[in-house]
Amino acid sequence: MTVDWPFLLTGWTFRPLLLLGVALILVLYRRGLAAGERPVTPQQPRRFALSLGLLIFALMCPINALVNDFLFMRIGQHLLAISLFPATFMGSDPLPILFAGLPGPWRFSLSKLASQHQATLKNLTPKGACWFAFVAAVWLWYDPALLALTTRSPFIYDLALATMIGGALLHWWHVTAARPHLHGRLPGLTHMGYTIAGAAPLKIPGLIFLIAVVPIYSFPSGRILGYAIDPLLSQQLGGMLVWALGGIVYSSTAFGFFAGWMGREASKPEQPRTHWDNEEKLIAPHLE
């Protein structure tokens, strides 16, 4: 495969089903906003629109046409689709707005179904299970045999992407504490650790790509803008992408949670010294 400047400008993939799905979601979101049933911050619609734009870009831009020729292009697409997209989508807390945009009978049926199976949904989606599902989905499709299968079958490749995106959305649902609130929110530092742990699915394979001295996958050699890219170099470039960009979303989000936690702690009213500096408080338990 030889990639030149014209291809980078014109090599877009037309995905009618994706565009139709995005259009439907936008219609529901607009109806939900117009219903005005819940207060919405100005940032929520912006994040929602950004998330859909990122998804369309990841799955339709020229990167998508090169995922079977260069491993680092595939990894770049994954960074967009299973990192940036779910973070911004769930960060916009979209589900209540989308629900409000549904036709009345659908809302009634879904509400009844959710109330009947709320306990089951809660048991199936604890934080640990969602993180494990995310990790398992990504690592499963990075298996050399399955990855080779995705290069031969567009359907299998789309299935792999859908599985990874679904796992990422579940993980970011807990990270952002988006609605519906089926589970309690983690304490500040634990929440920060859970967020950072979301980088593991790509960070660990990225490290393997960086230190491996032979190609793990059977990608062809090619040229991009005149530069020769062999399978090993493509693999190493993918590892560099993961370690340079793959953790930014998770670390920046975790830092934001940490800063918010510190701010809340600092804003707490100071306890008078007499509340803690007295003989009763300083006595060791069971000692008199």
Taking only the tens place, the pLDDT of each residue in 30-49 is: 999 999 877 899 999 999 99
Tokens matching residue 15: 């995905």
Q: How far is it, in rounded angstroms, from Cα 224 to Cα 7?
A: 10
Closest CA to 142 of 162, 121, 164, 127: 164
Supply φ then ψ for residue 223, to 5 degrees: -135, 135
Neighbour tally for 90: CB within 10 Å: 24
User: What is residue 282's predicted lDDT score, i.e. its pLDDT?
Assistant: 54
Provide mean pLDDT across the span 102-131: 93
Burial class (CB in 10 A: 0-12, 13-18, 19+), 145: exposed
The residue behind tokens 């960086």 is 210
Q: How far is it, in rounded angstroms, from Cα 257 to Cα 177?
A: 11
HSE-up (13 A, CA, CB side) for residue 142? 23
Lowest mean pLDDT segment, chosen from 184-188, 205-209, 277-281: 277-281
Q: Is the pLDDT of residue 154 over 80?
A: yes
| Angle at alpha carbon of residue 26, lines to 60 and 176, rounded to 5° | 85
DSSP 3-state of 62? helix
Lowest mean pLDDT segment, chosen from 98-102, 127-131, 202-206: 202-206
Q: Crossing angle for the helix pair 71-79 and 200-211, nearest 10 degrees?
A: 160
Q: Is the pLDDT of residue 219 over 60?
A: yes
| Angle at alpha carbon of residue 192, lines to 190 and 198, rounded to 5° | 105
Q: How far is CA 24 from the centre of its chain?
A: 21
User: What is residue 196's predicted lDDT score, i.e. its pLDDT?
Assistant: 82
User: What is residue 275's predicted lDDT score, i.e. its pLDDT?
Assistant: 56
More confident residue, 1 or 285: 1
